[in-house]
Amino acid sequence: MVGAINLHGGLAPPSCWSCRAHQVELYFSIVQRKALTPNDLGSLEELAERLTAFGRRYREIARPFEWTFTRSDLERVLERIDAAAREERGLARLRLAA
């Protein structure tokens, strides 16, 4: 999530909570791909064992993500979003005037 719409129609920076929520989403997507695929578990005990083993192993090998999305990339995306929002507001005014 890049940000939320503020009262003036622009984007507000994401809160710390949303950044943490994004980190949790990343972790669970890794768990899904690495520990729960294929989904061939026969019992809840097997699930618990697989998740525990994955957690142990991931703590040993985990490294920080190397982000490639830069501040200038974000600024370009935000400019496109703002331009699209301005265009949509202009079209809405035209529809109301018609």
Each residue's pLDDT tens digit in the chain (98 positions)?
Answer: 445 554 555 555 556 666 777 788 888 898 999 888 888 889 999 999 999 999 999 999 988 878 788 889 989 999 999 999 989 888 888 787 76
Cα angle, residue 85 at apex, residues 81 and 91 outer, rounded to 5° = 145
In a domain, 2, yes or no: no
**3-class DSSP assignment, residue 56:** helix
Tokens 């995306």 belong to: 77
**Whether residue 18 sits in one domain with residue 51:** yes
Domain ranges, residue 62: 13-66
Verify that 17 and 62 share a domain, yes or no.
yes
Q: Are residues 17 and 46 in the same domain?
A: yes
User: For 35-70, where are the alpha helices, taking DSSP H only?
Assistant: 44-61
Helix axes 16-34, 44-61, angle to 10 degrees: 110
Answer yes or no: do 26 and 58 share one domain.
Answer: yes
The DSSP code for 12 is E
Domain-embedded: residue 5 = no
Co-location of 35 and 23 in the same domain: yes
pTM over 0.75: no
- What is the spatial distance between Cα 11 and Cα 15, in angstroms, rounded to a whole number? 12
Amino acid at 80: R
Are residue 77 and residue 58 in the same domain, yes or no? no
23 and 41 housed in the same domain = yes
